Structure 1
């Protein structure tokens, strides 16, 4: 149910600062460097799309904190062909992207479903010991 609550930070700070805060918090907890390039998130997005990107970032960063044991994390956003792409990457343990991740990874299915509701899509690339990259693509507002 918390999934559906709108974070106060998102309304107060906007998407870019909110995602920066999530990443900064995780990286300081893990004591690792965090590369960020989130200028593109300053572009206006429909409220539901912004919330979805925020939740995807939150879920991906939570997964990194729980499972990845990375030495660095990168969170970037850029615009291409009227689409916004949020990329969250770590160099941690990764997982076999071909295997069924099992019940512990319901987060990926949830992210995929949420993105589909706003016309977006989720791509996850991971390999054991090679880290994980999560791409969330959404259409820009017109």
Structure 2
């Protein structure tokens, strides 16, 4: 026998939708089947679609899956395994370099904030926006 769907149930189902495996079909029927583990029975699509948080999570996930598929369709496919391995190695090297740059920038920012606070500058003053280039005295 079906029971009322609680807010806690909805939160669990929203998390289920957000974490939906990419290799599983993403459709309402599958979500209803997945909800069986949370509710103890298989709800109808209409019952789940009436829950705004769940309907919104479904739409967001569906859009993410579509945009991901669009991005993948635009990626040029390597002709050989060697070409793919070289591309991966290049991207990993670039990623490592960018991570190192971000770490250095974070260290510099922390140093500026620390030294600025030692000399009486508040965080608000340190984080003030840069002046307008057209009128630097505004």
Rg comparison, structure with higher value: 2
**TM-score, length-normalised on structure 2?**
0.22
Q: Which has the higher strand share?
A: 1
TM-score, normalized by length of structure 1?
0.21
